[in-house]
Amino acid sequence: MSRLLVIDDEIKMTMLISAHLTEAGHTVETAASGREAMALLQQRTYDLVVTDIRLPDPDGLAILSWISQHHPETGVIMMTAFAEAKTAVEAMKKGAVDYLIKPFPLDELALIIQRYLTQRKNENLKRLREADYEALAYDDFIGQSAATQNLLGLVRQVAPTDTTVLILGESGTGKELAARLLHIQSPRRPKPFIAINCAALTETLLESELFGHEKGAFTGAVSRKPGRLELAHGGTIFLDEIGEMSPGLQSKLLRVLEEHHLVRVGGVDMIPVDVRVIAATNRNLKELMKSGKFREDLYYRINVFPITMPTLRDRIDDIPLLAEYFLKRKNFPHPVLDTEVIDLLQNYSWPGNIRELKNILDRAAILAGDGPINAGCLGIDDADLDTSAPMAGPPASLAESERALIIDALEKTGGSKTEAARLLRITRRRLYSRMKILGIEK
């Protein structure tokens, strides 16, 4: 419900306006002078003020100036006599929403007020959406490592354009999140973002999903169905695992990209489509081209701006932040992990990348119950961490070389065992074990 202030030294006029706007569903307060109005304005805020220009001490223009300075979110409608119309126009230039020349139909005033309130509500919703977009961008890409910042830098550069993007990288690195961020940071964000996994459907189903079909196009097509490309009109379509698409569908997709229209399965009409295409794959498309499984012309059409997602192995400095983020989202009571657990996570190879990290933490949180997560909750052992480190009981000459390497690493890192282990590319647990066997005290 909106709160309005009506200011006029003509009491009868004030009462008429107040009664009409109250009946229209607004909460209305009134003032009969500029001084009375200023006292109310300093006590509370209003969605909109309706004021006469001619008021005793101060006048309507002075009130407009004060509101513009102290409550710019409050709209002001000026009421004036015909002789003061030029003054009202000047008031518009100074920020008034509108003006009305007395006498005027009360319904006209109510309409102007409703139009203004609706416009302001839409603008507020737009600002909230913008804030949500920005929050989503940074919530979904947790991390401060150089690899993460480099990725976000590329996204910021290409997002405002309509350039086709090819996202490369291992499974579980967050390719769809990157695609959503590209859409959210682009001018297309008010329009749909539609994702489809090209590896999850058979060729026939994928064709129908992408391009749509007409009624009777095949058995089971009982009605017309628009495809994902058509539904994404004005927005973005994300083609995940595009390397799994058959050459026949690749040809049809290429035509859509080049001609900006499509034909539904079983149809003849050309349907215009305006979509931004973001594709992703964890396969080597160049190798697929050599074997004839991926069209060369489509490759060069989608590979305009390639982005390679960093693996979690490239982002080990982000692991503490990612772990805390995932655990907080699960409302886990102990989201900050101790040094031993973080060290274990940072020395794991992460073949499943961020997806695997999330799954391991989900399991660990269940095992930990109400207590903190310890190393045993993770389900990671030494065999998972490092298979190339030297085993116990090496020949004497090898032991001496190993001892020298460890001592050198400790000296270079100022005695930090965590940094020394990282330098030697072994786990800290393995480092402690080798130091004990080799009699190294640091």
Which one, of 81, 82, 78, 84, lies nearest residue 60 by Cα?
78
Is 132 a member of any domain? Answer: no
Q: At residue 150, does pLDDT exceed 80?
A: yes
Helix (H, G, I), strand (E, B) or coil at 33: coil
Report how far residue 180's alpha carbon sits from residue 171's, in angstroms, rounded to the nearest whole number: 16
**Residue 348 sits in the same domain as residue 293:** no
Residue type, 17: I
pTM exceeding 0.75? no
Encoding tokens for residue 224? 């017309």
Domain identity same for 163 and 228: yes
Contacts of 32 (CB under 8 A, 6+ apart): 7, 8, 9, 11, 14
CATH number of the CATH domain containing 334: 1.10.8.60
> What sign for the dihedral angle of Cα 113, 119, 125, 130?
negative
Task: Tell me the per-residue pLDDT of 30-86, one tens digit each, with 9 for 90 and over.
Answer: 999 999 999 999 888 899 999 999 888 898 899 999 998 888 889 999 998 766 667
CA atoms of 151 and 429, how far apart (whole Å): 32
The answer to whether residues 301 and 157 belong to one domain is yes
For 97-115, letters b (16+ CB in 10 Å) and e give: bbbbeeeeebeebbebbee
Is the pLDDT at 439 greater than 90, yes or no? no
Give the pLDDT confidence of 78-104 residue by residue, as tens digits: 998 766 667 777 788 788 888 888 889
pLDDT, tens only, 93-144: 788 888 888 889 999 999 999 888 888 887 766 665 555 554 455 455 788 8
Q: The domain that contains 414 carries what CATH number?
A: 1.10.10
Mean of pLDDT values over 294-303: 96
22 against 402, higher pLDDT: 22
CA 201 and chain centroid, separation? 27
Q: Tell me the residue range of the domain where 213 lies.
A: 143-308
> Per-residue pLDDT tens for 319-332?
999 999 899 988 99
**Does residue 320 share a domain with residue 297?**
no
Residues 223, 363, single domain; the answer is no
Q: Are residues 300 and 166 in the same domain?
A: yes
Longest CA pairwise span in the chain (Å): 107
The verdict on 101 and 147 lying in the same domain is no
Q: In this structure, are 364 and 230 located in the same domain? A: no
pLDDT for residue 393: 42
